[in-house]
Amino acid sequence: MRKHGRLMKNIAGLLLLLALLSLLFPFCKFNAGDGNMTLSGIEVIKTGGKAGYTYFKEGRLSENYVIKAPYTWGDIRDSVSYINHAGGANILVFCAVAIAVPLVLCFLSMFMLFMAEGKKTMFMPTLFTLVVVAEMLLIVFGITPLRPFLKIGVYLFTILNVIALLFIIAGWITGGYRQPDKRQSRYGYGGKGDTNNDGDDGDNNRSYRRKRRKTRRKTKKKKKTKKDKSSDDDNKKENNEDSKNKEKKVSGEPVTGVISNGSGIYHGLSWNLKDGKDASVTIGTTFDAVEALESGSLRGIDSIAENNCRIVFDAAAKQYNIESHSKQAVLILQDGKVVKWLKNGDSYAVTSKAVLQVDGRRDAVKLG
């Protein structure tokens, strides 16, 4: 979920919380014998609490127990019995459901908004809020005989739900509930062609991937033609590269087992393989893989596959054994130069301090 989408749904959640709290104000009034009686959420909570305590303490409520003057428990029970005998039980149940549904759905929607993490988890709170708004608008504007009995609590509840629904819909329209660019790090880096615009990730990502595939095809063709023309020269170059790699391994500072000084998706992360419990660590090569490995959640296991690199520290030999399981190539740099280019399935031993970097990005970590 993107930053502005997270902000939208959190504001909507706070508005729904305020909507529930607004029912503490007076929400209805009705004729009670000598005059009008007004009910508020605070009075309902107090009366219900006292009645529940009395029932728990004495095991029953007496006929003369005053619920709200001048009504007693006996009066309420007689009224319910009269409605049942008059054939109005269904109407009573319908009224109870009509009162309970907006409250329950508003509470569930508020809770789900705070917990939502994407489009799938935003569907239900959007639907719940839409149902609540539709019912409250029907009660306030559709059923005109009820309007004289409604008080400020109902109107505040309706207005706050409408505003919350507008924020939720705004998040849907602006694409705030979509997942951000997978190449974008938590610090706003979007790789090559980054325009720092959340809404451009669809077309930009596709065009970027197409360009990458084209350049890879061209480089592969060039490599094949060169290999066909001069295979002996390639063998000599590989031997020279191996000898250079060995010289760099020996000449550099020895490794200590501490991996730190990360940038990009590795910013702020470090691993101590020398003094830690484990002498190995698996790091992700994409933002989603890093997040999944750090959180330890099974929900991100799909993003870890083919997007990770395993590093094992051999304290006796003072070297790192690196195994790449990443679709994206992994580079090993020493003194600012690439000494090894690891593809998926390749392994390499590092005996002197180096830098591990994901090809084509600035995501890197120092192998100290």
- Exposure string over 163-195, b if 16+ CB within 10 A, otherwise e: bbbebbeebbeeebbbebbebbbeeebbbeebe
Report all structural domains of the chain as residue ranges with CATH numbers, in order of start. Answer: 3-173 (no CATH), 253-367 (2.60.200)
Q: Look at residues 36, 27, 174, 178 and name the one whose alpha carbon lies nearest to residue 103.
A: 27
Backbone angles phi, psi at 9, to 5 degrees: -70, -30
Closest CA to 249 of 346, 320, 342, 309: 320
Q: Which of 18, 5, 42 is nearest to 118 (CA)?
A: 5
Cα–Cα distance measured from residue 216 to residue 209, given in angstroms and rounded to the nearest whole number: 10
**What tokens were used for 133?**
């708004």
Distance CA 233, CA 299 (A): 48
Q: How far apart are the first and last CA of the chain?
A: 35
* pLDDT for 33: 56
pLDDT at 286: 85
pLDDT in tens, the chain (368 residues): 788 888 999 999 999 999 999 988 888 776 655 556 777 788 888 878 887 888 788 877 777 777 766 667 666 676 667 666 666 567 667 777 888 899 999 999 999 999 988 888 899 999 999 999 999 999 888 888 877 778 888 899 999 999 999 999 999 998 888 876 554 444 444 444 444 444 444 555 556 566 666 676 666 666 656 555 555 565 555 555 555 554 444 456 888 888 888 888 888 788 888 775 567 888 888 888 888 887 776 666 777 778 888 888 888 888 888 888 888 888 888 888 888 888 888 888 888 888 998 888 888 888 87
The 3-state DSSP class for residue 186 equals: coil
Residue 80 carries which side chain, given as an amino acid letter? V
For the chain, strand residue ranges (E) read 26-32, 35-40, 66-68, 71-72, 258-263, 271-272, 280-284, 307-314, 319-326, 330-334, 337-342, 347-350, 354-358, 364-367
Give the pLDDT of residue 4. 85
pLDDT of residue 161: 94
Q: What is the Cα–Cα distance from 190 to 171, expressed in whole angstroms?
A: 22
Overall size of the chain counted in residues: 368
